[in-house]
A and B are shown apart, each in its own frame.
Chain A
């Protein structure tokens, strides 16, 4: 019993019976049909599933970017649907770092300005933000390119800037929506290694929606989603045994 309580205390994310419907002009599409999920601090989680399975929707729910039709998402045991606009903005700014498939670097700003923007929102002074921004760019290996605009950076480099930006306010969670989706094989691998390194060194919880099989090797747990439900949750140990099957299934 105590064990169970300890577990809940460590849950950084808890998804409880989340249902999400999208209304089209006449019909209603049930994208998520009741998802329960608990994620512990420091875990590296991959959410796997085919396109249209609802993984991006689930990802948006966890990130507070969209609200569930019913059910709740708790971050640090706070129901985020209860938060007002200020608190939600604060959550996005300080607690969660986002990485997107399409990088979403702000085009008119330099790499450094992109990284410092969340810190400015968090009220960090200009000098401190610059200093920390340079540190973060150093970590992702782009220190020399801090003055470059996104158009002067390659896809992999842009994604590194996005990772540095996601880390700006030392978030507890990093949400990565198909971070390697727009990258070639080797660049994707580098990004995955970088994420893994960060999760180990900084103890950040990483949740990534993906259908990149390379992600599996570094994940602590893999959550398989299909048709709006969790199909199965596998720990890494089980995973290595069944990897052959996965390979077949996802090729």
Chain B
């Protein structure tokens, strides 16, 4: 029996165009809206906290630079340690520690809900692999979904955090709180929040996605319904 070598075979390619992967990912998010919402919720909370702390620093720096005696006095009374001349106020070590913990909890939460989401979709993944999907198609779909969730979730979170911080200090210190906030710093902080959110979202989905993609189709379909 003559065995055909690989060289004799026609070009064997399976493809999933990027636009199509995005389309599938978006549909998947839409039809699993509630599950997506839960996954995104912890991200929204953590990112809003991050952005809140950041915005607060900008506000305090702004008040300090305003040289408004009454407002600065109010800051002292509330126990803020003010920076030296020309320096910007940064979050205290305690705040940073809480921030770190909240982000950590957020990632663990995402991994947890994504693992559940993935095991819910074992059958779907197995079916896709039977239809010719490569491992990396599966990973890519999950990554795109996570990126979209990250973008939307952290945008909502960042805006919420910024608005809460600005609103809160407006009540506490009056107009001076907002008037001297450096707009440039604010934009950078919000952008950083969104970026961090996407990163955390992708980080959280990585392990579940790899787990799902590496499964043999039979195992995947035999798995939980």
Residues of A bordering B, CB below 8 Å = 8, 60, 63, 65-66, 77-79, 85-87, 89-94, 98, 100, 102, 104-109, 113, 117-118, 120-123, 126, 149, 165
Residues of A within 8 A of B126 (CB): 104
A134 CB → nearest B CB, Å: 18
Residues of B within 8 A of A149 (CB): 31
Provide the B124-135 mask, 1 if CB < 8 A to any CB of A, else 0.
101111111111
Task: Determine the residue in chain A with the shortest Cβ distance to B136.
Answer: A85
Residues of A within 8 A of B131 (CB): 92-93, 98, 117-118, 121, 165
Count how many chain B residues have C-beta atoms less than 8 Å from C-beta atoms of the other chain: 35
Shortest Cβ-Cβ A-B pairs, 5 listed:
A93-B132, A90-B12, A108-B31, A121-B132, A104-B127
Q: Please tell me if B188 contacts chain A, counting CB pairs below 8 Å.
A: no
Residues of B within 8 A of A104 (CB): 123, 126-127, 130, 221
Known: A86-B13, A106-B124, A123-B13. A94 touches B218 (CB 8 A): no
Q: Please tell me if B15 contacts chain A, counting CB pairs below 8 Å.
A: yes
Residues of B within 8 A of A105 (CB): 127
B89 CB → nearest A CB, Å: 48
A77 touches which of B4, B12, B17, B32 (Cβ 8 Å):
B4
B218 CB → nearest A CB, Å: 5
- Would A107 and B3 count as touching, CB distance under 8 A? no
Q: Please tell me if B171 contacts chain A, counting CB pairs below 8 Å.
A: no
CA distance A126 to B19 in the complex (A): 11
- Would A85 and B134 count as touching, CB distance under 8 A? yes
The count of A-to-B residue pairs whose CB atoms sit within 8 angstroms is: 94
- Would A86 and B124 count as touching, CB distance under 8 A? no
CA distance A118 to B127 in the complex (A): 10
Residues of B bordering A, CB below 8 Å = 1-4, 6, 9, 12-17, 20, 24, 27-28, 31-32, 123-124, 126-135, 137, 216-218, 221
Question: What would 8 more interface pairs be, CB under 8 Å, given A104-B130, A106-B127, A120-B20?
Answer: A60-B218, A89-B14, A90-B14, A92-B132, A98-B131, A106-B124, A113-B27, A120-B15
B9 touches which of A87, A117, A118, A123 (Cβ 8 Å):
A87
Residues of A within 8 A of B31 (CB): 107-108, 149
- Would B127 and A121 count as touching, CB distance under 8 A? no
B14 touches which of A65, A78, A86 (Cβ 8 Å):
A86
Residues of A within 8 A of B134 (CB): 85-86, 89
- Would B13 and A98 count as touching, CB distance under 8 A? no
- Would A100 and B221 count as touching, CB distance under 8 A? yes
Known: A104-B127, A109-B27. A66 touches B218 (CB 8 A): yes
A106 CB → nearest B CB, Å: 5
22 A-B pairs in the complex with CB atoms less than 8 angstroms apart: A8-B1, A60-B218, A63-B130, A77-B4, A78-B4, A86-B14, A89-B134, A90-B12, A90-B14, A92-B217, A104-B123, A104-B130, A105-B127, A108-B27, A109-B24, A113-B27, A120-B15, A120-B20, A121-B133, A121-B137, A122-B15, A149-B31
